Amino acid sequence: MSRCKQNVHMDTENAINKHINLELYTAYIYLVMESYVKRDDVALLGFAVLFNKKMKEHHLAVSKLIDYQVQRGCIASFDNIEKPVTQQWANVMEIMEEALALEKEVNESLLDLSELGKEHGDSHLVAFLGEDFLKKQSMSIYTISQCVTKLKRCSGKGLIVTLVDMELEHHSNPHLFSQSIITPQ
């Protein structure tokens, strides 16, 4: 047993490991999404930039959680990562709705983890999640929601897809939507 382990409940340690696997799964799905939109018959490079960024964010979250486990004297353990069920989509709207559902699932897991930390009196975990994860996750949901809203304006087809894709590609920062050329007046 680690000498630095203190006030960490086994349920909390296991829940963090479960969340690590969810983050890995999410990164895996974003990798699949990125490879799909990069195909020559889809050719949405701006969305590829977005999905690559999201994949890296979730990998970074995994690294931070593993470091946290180690610093608290816990053991990071890993399970198998399921192959994504969907690897092709009918349109970009489907992809973005799946991305939004993923981000909400990650957020729900973080909220559950924070609540578990509160139940077990683990103020370190609650503070760590609040500072490093919950705010960023909320922004992720907001950003993808904006994209979905823009796509829904034209049923996720046609010129709006091209405009959103160009915006993502040129800015490579999806948080710049508020200054977008396609934001309604």
Residues making up the annotated binding site for Fe cation are 23, 103, 137
Q: How far is CA 141 from the centre of its chain?
A: 8
DSSP state of 133: I
List Cβ neighbours of 107 (8 Å cut-off, separation of 6 or more).
134, 137, 138, 140, 141
Q: 92: how many CB neighbours lie within 10 A of its CB?
A: 23
How far is the C-alpha of 28 from the C-alpha of 26, rounded, in Å?
5
Per the annotation, binding residues are 23, 103, 137
Alpha-carbon distance values, 105 to 4, 111, 159 (Å): 31, 10, 30
